[in-house]
Structure 1
């Protein structure tokens, strides 16, 4: 890898000049995350209005070239551990945080998802965290469940999207017709397959207005019902708008004050769930 294709300020998916693997160097997180993008076609089965993917389209991941992915991942891990990449990272961030399956669409839509997890297992240092960032909509698939169970053996963590917990709210924010019952079923499957599952929630203002109190109540009622039935995620990752949306609704979105996020987080914590806030 040459010096001019890696940058600590470029978080784009092609910043390493590779098809599937890209680095994210975060001073705030204090390390390097190795991203894996299984959706280089910018296709997703949801269309969240805050999404930062350019030219987002409805669809699924294309076939994964497993040989190329393995070559890229193995090569990039070697570069991080034995090359000079870390010399171009701030000293306080010279460590590998995790391998993260995220990218430009829903990673579990890849038909080869379980094979991808096995591929990562062949290269990942044992102590390194493996993170899946998912909208959780495809948990009924056998290959997804197989991959999640394998992740549980690999220091794996699932970040399961829960931006709203009503059908109207999910239609508005995620542009999906997911039902609350299906959402609950999918979360139960994720937790059963990979117990280290966190909810990831984006909370923001729309047309200048914060989410309604009813939105918070729906969210808390959903969590409370899950907890009573033994569906227990590890906690909630509550975050605001960090970078501009690239969707048509972008002008309508704005960040909430940190104190508004903290007030909602306090209500979630009252249920007994750990909640991390990132404004």
Structure 2
């Protein structure tokens, strides 16, 4: 077994189909991932995405029985077995921080998302983890308008879960360049508001240099105006997760991307805090 590190978020580290352990920078330790897109399919194609052979599409049919079995087996290894020794995890990181629905594509494209959420809740209850660890759904938010997604979000909230909702840009041009989809900031705003009123929601934003250039002042101002409007409308956003590049992109734009200096991330975070938002910065 190769050691788990923040530099490697391989989905097959445990040799399973749907469940994988990672050491997460943003979670601050061990995160148990649920990959609902083992087909590497997503309706977006973010330039910084670390998924190899990414294709446009949706999640496949999910074998819920297998997913449940894998999750139970991995949790049992972590809680009672030699998991930490086999993956060479240092003592200070030997605790589950969260279970995260994430993976190799947009998880809310799963046709049975509501049942998967219920299954995760059942397994967590069996292991006494409900209320003890975080439950996180990481999403680009583009399918929040669908009834099945809204039902899943409501149940996720009841289980104590939260959402990390991707907003990398608040301009049409920026969304197209970074996420490679044609969306208006208005549609992102509407879905974000729906999501935040159904389940505790954090905005997650990846910042980086493109062709050696940092986000322009026009991009920064549009993003800040987007946040200010959320505040004005009393949309209950928990805060902003601001993070930079840590692992190499597997997309064709990879050579054009580079990490922002830490002081630049901090400066942007300060401008967000000035609007009244909590901000967590991960370099």
- How is 1:132-151 mapped onto 2 (pairs within 5 angstroms)? 132-151=137-156
Q: Decide which of 261, 266, 282 is 1:262's aligned counterpart.
A: 266
TM-score (norm 2): 0.94
SS at match of 2:249: coil
Contact 2:26 2:282 in 1 (8 A): no
CA distance in 2, matches of 1:46, 1:8: 27
Contact 2:25 2:282 in 1 (8 A): no
**Other-structure match for 1:115:** 115
Contact 1:32 1:96 in 2 (8 A): yes
**Other-structure match for 1:42:** 40
Alignment pair present for 1:210 and 2:223: no
Alignment pair present for 1:11 and 2:9: yes
Please give the root-mean-square deviation of Cα atoms over the aligned residues, in Å: 1.3
- How is 1:7-86 mapped onto 2 (pairs within 5 angstroms)? 7-9=3-5, 10-26=8-24, 30-86=28-84
Structure 2, unmatched stretches of 5+, are: none
Alignment pair present for 1:94 and 2:94: yes
**Other-structure match for 1:173:** 178
CA distance in 1, matches of 2:180, 2:4: 33
- How is 1:148-163 mapped onto 2 (pairs within 5 angstroms)? 148-163=153-168
CA distance in 1, matches of 2:259, 2:25: 21
Structure 1, unmatched stretches of 5+, are: none
CA distance in 2, matches of 1:30, 1:78: 21
Q: How far apart are 1:79 and its partner, in Å?
A: 1.1
SS at match of 1:80: helix
Aligned pair in 2 of structure 1 residues 26, 199: CA closer, same or farther (>3 Å)? closer
Contact 1:30 1:92 in 2 (8 A): no
CA distance in 2, matches of 1:29, 1:160: 15
CA distance in 1, matches of 2:139, 2:10: 19
- The ranges of structure 1 where at least 4 consecutive aligned residues each deviate by more than 3 angstroms after the TM superposition are 26-30
CA distance in 1, matches of 2:229, 2:181: 22
Aligned pair in 2 of structure 1 residues 250, 27: CA closer, same or farther (>3 Å)? closer
SS at match of 2:37: coil
Q: Decide which of 252, 255, 259 is 1:251's aligned counterpart.
A: 255
SS at match of 2:203: strand
SS at match of 1:234: strand
Aligned pair in 2 of structure 1 residues 185, 52: CA closer, same or farther (>3 Å)? same
CA distance in 1, matches of 2:229, 2:281: 23
| Greater shift in the superposed pair: 20-29 or 78-87 | 20-29
SS at match of 2:79: helix
Contact 2:197 2:236 in 1 (8 A): no
Alignment pair present for 1:222 and 2:220: no
Question: What is the number of equivalent residue pairs in this alignment?
Answer: 274
